[in-house]
Every structure is written in structure tokens, then in C-alpha cells.
């Protein structure tokens, strides 16, 4: 019997596992893929995220997980009417696979047991504990913190829901563009995507992405975006190197969050935390930490743990709502997000 099983070694899961192990709880951190695992991400760590890493992991993000240009200077956003807004902020440009592995190893060093390449098939509360089923064995824990990310297959099964999602598609290319590679560029013009389109650079590869509600329209929007970048920003693609497709939760007005069901707490993207333009790592770390604290403070009382978690995660929720409200004022596309 574990005290806590944490599902998913992303930023939310690693923070939760590290916090619990440090407090002396017998903690198992389970990750479906072998580490370092791939996660589609622009890898922009904003100042807030860097501070959270320092607070919860006791160190600065190491140079070994950054990619060129390592310094991120902020975001340049073009709204749906073509107006440009600059958000200057010092941050880091990282590779998610190595960043997340670094977080997972830190959790392991704090005493959490880490099992990668191991997928959880189901979770079910039974007789004052949670039964966690894997393909070939079953484990028990007093609590589960579910940090399985946007796909959230386990949460869907538990709550019998089908959350709305946004499909993201990005390509990595050899080439050049007349833009400052230290910035992340987001475009909200409706002809370029059904959500947002973006440009950034990782280790000299130009990343071009579009996100859509209707996955069938990905190619249409992507072609338009490449044409737009070619005509407006001197984009020259020499060779396409790779592509990836992912999903993100489609945040609804009021930013609803699923905090817990019985002894199972949800954190990170799986709970519904995501800021506009896809900045989700800070909310994952904060909610992972809050869920772990709730379990540690109320280990013998699951209802009190759920209440404590809901209360302590409110500032993250409010921050997320504030950011969505701000984006709603910038763009008609997100005006339904105003609460």
C-alpha cells in the first residue's frame, strides 16, 4: 500500500510527488512513457515558472535543458484585427523532454519511487483506498493525484465526461525568417487558425504551429499560415524536419476546474488549468503542489483534503481567469471567456 500514487511525470505530477516524498509519504510516481518522453510544447518558461521551479525544486532550471536561443524575451501577439502587442519578459526556452526528466529525477532524489514506461489503465476507490490497475498488476494507495495531462482518459472514465479539446499541429523546419528568434509570436487572425497560430525557434529549427477546433481543417489553416509568414515575415523554409500533433483542453468561460472525486485529486492540465496562448507549466506546478499539500495536511480525511485543495488552488484559478479576461478584451475570438 502506497500513501499516494501520482499519475503522470509532467510538471504537475513531478511537483506533487516531490512535495509528498519530502514530507515523508510513501509516494509512487508513474509515467506511461520511458523518460525522457516527448511532449509537444513551445517550451517557453515565463518568469513566474522560473520562480516556481526555484521554490519547489530548490534550484534554478539547469542550462542542460535549454535550447537555442536559451533566452526568451517574451511574446509578441497579433490580435484578430492585425494590431501588435508586445509582452516583454525574461524567461527561458527549454526542451520539454529534458526539462520534465530533470523534474522527475528531482522527485526521485527526494524519495519518490519512479516507474516510467508504465501506464495506468484504471483507478477506482474501494474500501477506504484507491485501486490503481496497470496491465499486469494492481497497486493500492490511500490517495491518487491524477496529473495525466490533456488527454485525461482516466478522468473521463471516472467522471463520465468528454471534455472539449483543441488540436495543435506544428512543424519544425530548416530555414530563416525576418523575426527576432528570442520571442514567441502568436497570431489570432481568424483566417490563420481556429484558435491561435504561432512561430518560435528551437535549436535553430523554425517552429510553425496552428491550433484548430475541427481537426479536419488543420492542413487548410497551416497552408494559409505559411503563406502569411512568407509574405509578411520573409519566411523561407528549406526543409521540413518533423511534425507533431497534440491536444489542449478547450477552456470554457468561467474556467471550470475539476478538483477531486473522493480520494482522487486532479492537477495540472488534467484538472483544466491552462492560460491563454498555451502557457500551462506554471499552473501545473502550482496545482500539483497544492494537491500534494492538501493530501499531506488531511491524510486521514479525504473530504477535508478535497476542500483544502479547492481553497488553496483558488489563486491559480483566479490568475487563469484574469488572463483569459485580458485576452478576451484583446480579441473577439476569446470574448466569450469574459467572466
Ligand X SMILES: Cc1cc2nc3c(=O)[nH]c(=O)nc-3n(C[C@H](O)[C@H](O)[C@H](O)COP(=O)(O)OP(=O)(O)OC[C@H]3O[C@@H](n4cnc5c(N)ncnc54)[C@H](O)[C@@H]3O)c2cc1C
- In the complex, the residues that contact ligand X under the rule CB under 6 A are 7-13, 30-33, 37, 39-44, 119-120, 147-149, 154, 168, 170, 209, 246, 248, 268-270, 274, 278-281, 284
Minimum separation from the CB atom of position 331 to ligand X (A): 18
Residue 65 and residue 104 in contact, taking contact as beta carbons nearer than 8 Å: no
Is 24 or 256 the residue whose CB approaches ligand X more closely?
256
Closest Cα to residue 280, out of 297, 291, 268? Answer: 268
Q: How far is the CB of 59 from ligand X (least distance, A)?
A: 19
Task: Round to whole Å and give the CA distance between 152 and 131.
Answer: 18
Q: Rounded CA gap, 95 and 62, in Å?
A: 11
Give the separation between CA 8 and CA 4, rounded to whole angstroms.
13
In the bound state with ligand X, the residue whose beta carbon lies nearer, of 147 and 295, is: 147
Minimum distance from residue 46 beta carbon to ligand X (Å): 7
Report the alpha-carbon distance of residue 10 to residue 104 in Å, rounded: 8
In 3D space, the residue among 318, 6, 308, 312 whose CA is nearest the CA of residue 144 turns out to be 6
The answer to whether the CB of 36 falls within 8 A of the CB of 103 is: no
Phi first, then psi: what are they for 174, rounded to 5°?
Answer: -85, 135
* Other Cβ atoms within 10 Å of 303 Cβ, number: 11
Q: CA-CA distance, 62 to 59, in Å (whole number)?
A: 8
The H helix count followed by the E strand count for the chain is 8, 16
Q: Does residue 69 have a cis peptide bond before it, meaning omega lies within 30 degrees of 0?
A: yes
Q: How far apart are CA 333 and CA 41, in angstroms?
A: 22
In terms of CB distance, is 272 or 302 closer to ligand X? 272
To ligand X, the closest distance from the beta carbon of 4 in angstroms equals 14
Question: What's the number of CA atoms in the CB half-sphere (13 Å) around residue 90?
Answer: 2
**119 vs 325, beta carbon nearer ligand X:** 119
Residue 38 C-beta: closest distance to ligand X, Å: 9
State the nearest-atom distance from the C-beta of 301 to ligand X, in Å. Answer: 26
Closer by beta carbon to ligand X, 81 or else 245: 245
How is residue 129 annotated by DSSP? Answer: E
Residue nearer to ligand X on the CB measure, 132 or 300: 132
CB of 252 to ligand X, least distance (A): 16
Is the separation of the CB atoms in 119 and 133 below 8 Å? Answer: no
Q: Which residue is nearest to ligand X (CB)?
A: 280
Shorter beta-carbon distance to ligand X: residue 215 or 234? 215
User: Which CB, 36 or 302, lies closer to ligand X?
Assistant: 36
- Residue 44 CB, shortest distance to ligand X, in Å, is 4
Amino acid at each position: 500500500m502506497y500513501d499516494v500514487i501520482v499519475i503522470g511525470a509532467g510538471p504537475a505530477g513531478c511537483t506533487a510527488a516531490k512535495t509528498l516524498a519530502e514530507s515523508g509519504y510513501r509516494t509512487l510516481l508513474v509515467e506511461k512513457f520511458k523518460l525522457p518522453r516527448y511532449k509537444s510544447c513551445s517550451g517557453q518558461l515565463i518568469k513566474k515558472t522560473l520562480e516556481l521551479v526555484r521554490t519547489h525544486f530548490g534550484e534554478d532550471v539547469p542550462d542542460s535543458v535549454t535550447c537555442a536561443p536559451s533566452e526568451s524575451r517574451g511574446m509578441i501577439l497579433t490580435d484578430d484585427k492585425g494590431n501588435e502587442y508586445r509582452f516583454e519578459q525574461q524567461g527561458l526556452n527549454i526542451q520539454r523532454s529534458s526539462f520534465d526528466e530533470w523534474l522527475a529525477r528531482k522527485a526521485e532524489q527526494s524519495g519518490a519511487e519512479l516507474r516510467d514506461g508504465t501506464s495506468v489503465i484504471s483507478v477506482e476507490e474501494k474500501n477506504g483506498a484507491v485501486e490503481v490497475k496497470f496491465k499486469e498488476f494492481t497497486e493500492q494507495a490511500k490517495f491518487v493525484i491524477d496529473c495525466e495531462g490533456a488527454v485525461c482518459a482516466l478522468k473521463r472514465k471516472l467522471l463520465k465526461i468528454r471534455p472539449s479539446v483543441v488540436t495543435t499541429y506544428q512543424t519544425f523546419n530548416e530555414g530563416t525568417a525576418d523575426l527576432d528568434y528570442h520571442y514567441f509570436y502568436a497570431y489570432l487572425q481568424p483566417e490563420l487558425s481556429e484558435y491561435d497560430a504561432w512561430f518560435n525557434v528551437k535549436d535553430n529549427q523554425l517552429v510553425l504551429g496552428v491550433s484548430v477546433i475541427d481537426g479536419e481543417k488543420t492542413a487548410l489553416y497551416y497552408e494559409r499560415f505559411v503563406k502569411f509568414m512568407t509574405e509578411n515575415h520573409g519566411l523561407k523554409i528549406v526543409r521540413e524536419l518533423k511534425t507533431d500533433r497534440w491536444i489542449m483542453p478547450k477552456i470554457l468561460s468561467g474556467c471550470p476546474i475539476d478538483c477531486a472525486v473522493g480520494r482522487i485529486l486532479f492537477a495540472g492540465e488534467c484538472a483544466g488549468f491552462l492560460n491563454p496562448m498555451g502557457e500551462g507549466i506554471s499552473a501545473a506546478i502550482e496545482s500539483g503542489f497544492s494537491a500534494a499539500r492538501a493530501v499531506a495536511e488531511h491524510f486521514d480525511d479525504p473530504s477535508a483534503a478535497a476542500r483544502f485543495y479547492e481553497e488553496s488552488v483558488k489563486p491559480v484559478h483566479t490568475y487563469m481567469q484574469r488572463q483569459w479576461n485580458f485576452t478576451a478584451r484583446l480579441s473577439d475570438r476569446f470574448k466569450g471567456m469574459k467572466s
